[in-house]
Structure 1
């Protein structure tokens, strides 16, 4: 079905790439950000609608400027669980914790724009949904963002992907 060089899209994720290798039931894909990832054939479909400019990237071929650009095009994960943001939250109200989490979201969006970063994943967990609800309200106030549920395969329903334009 698949062969080396095919352009593919990941079914449950917003990723595209080109097949580098096929090993038994594993397909090695060079994604659109220049990183290799492994998938099973059932996770992929052919997608001829885009062009991959370079299939193989070696560190010796990349200038420092390109390395920085690749680093910034990497997905940055931000864990919004309160225990990841503060040393102790024992005496905080739910409102105080939510305000800290919302400040973190806003700071990361502004930082991504300053750095030229293109994609963020905010990990909010499943919980009651209040954090995700408030985060969505905040994100819709920013222009130039595309907001999606992050990869179900990786995060289930506990994360939101934000593309910064």
Structure 2
């Protein structure tokens, strides 16, 4: 298969173009156009359109010559940066980010059901990043295990660390943090640390922790009178979460805001949960019906929310 996820292609027989968003098999690919619909097509029926560069490819050469080191020698800082394609948002690109002063000889092998495949092998210069893999975002649960092998090298008078060997099976929790600018790429994405820093134990702080007073108060900020429980308002990584995880997050936020409203003695509060299949609404109503501080609850402002919001009146 000569095409990769994120490639910009044009149909041979039709006036259509788009981005490769799925590799179906050795003969078929999925292409998504401006209408955001994915069309299965024979790979022989499209051709590459040159000139398009995926997110993060500019200024990230796979250099083989070690540049001169400026300033302090950095020994730590190897990451996997995961960045969504600028044009095909359903595709993410994986970069090996070398924020150290070492030159790295790195390989990536994927493994799925005892089937191994070499995906990348090459040199990564200090302070540079190289794309090593691409995948469909919606297929996170189906991603293979990643096997990283990294050897450190430098012409400086610095002892290199032992080779890094890491098996990583990415999960939704790895993408629970808010997107941040990935170093060296200047693109928003997620960072997964591969060379974990060594844990340093402060003996004095450890000693103090044994004598720490248990009388620590949990401070609850005063909440707004309307609380939106839609998952996209609570988490940036909601597209990675399963339905059960989404419901647990929504219920946890509901209980936190309910407690805050009671602490601050609010007379009432509106929870916006959406209509959907009614699961979240039913869970909220069950909890409210048993709560000793709740006087009553009802559907809130049907003209605005329909059956998608519940108003709670406190005692």
TM-score tier by shorter-chain length is 0.5 to 0.7
Aligned counterpart, 1:162:
312
Aligned counterpart, 2:243:
94
In 1: Cα distance, 2:288 partner to 2:230 partner: 18
Structure 2 gaps of 5+ residues are 1-221
In 1: Cα distance, 2:238 partner to 2:260 partner: 25
- Preserved CA contact (<8 Å) 2:298 2:312: yes
Given the alignment of the two structures, is residue 117 of structure 1 paired with residue 255 of structure 2, yes or no?
Answer: no
Residue among 274, 278, 283 paired with 1:129:
278
Work out the number of aligned pairs and report it. 93
- Preserved CA contact (<8 Å) 2:293 2:314: yes
Give how far 1:136 is off.
1.2
Select the structure of larger CA radius of gyration: 2
1:32-65 deviation line (CA, Å, top 9, x unaligned): xxxxxxxxxxxxxxxxxxxxxxxxxxxxxxxxxx
- Preserved CA contact (<8 Å) 1:75 1:119: no
Give how far 1:128 is off.
0.7
Secondary structure (helix, strand or coil) at the match of 1:163 reads: strand
Aligned counterpart, 2:289:
140
In 1: Cα distance, 2:278 partner to 2:305 partner: 15
- Preserved CA contact (<8 Å) 2:230 2:272: yes
Structure 1 gaps of 5+ residues are 1-71
- Preserved CA contact (<8 Å) 1:75 1:121: no
Instruction: Map 1:9-24 to 2 at 5 A.
Output: none
Give how far 1:150 is off.
0.6
More helix by share: 1
Please list every run of at least 4 consecutive aligned residues from structure 1 whose deviation after the TM superposition is greater than 2 angstroms: none
Instruction: Map 1:67-86 to 2 at 5 A.
Output: 76-86=225-235
In 1: Cα distance, 2:257 partner to 2:283 partner: 15
TM-score, normalised to structure 2, is 0.28
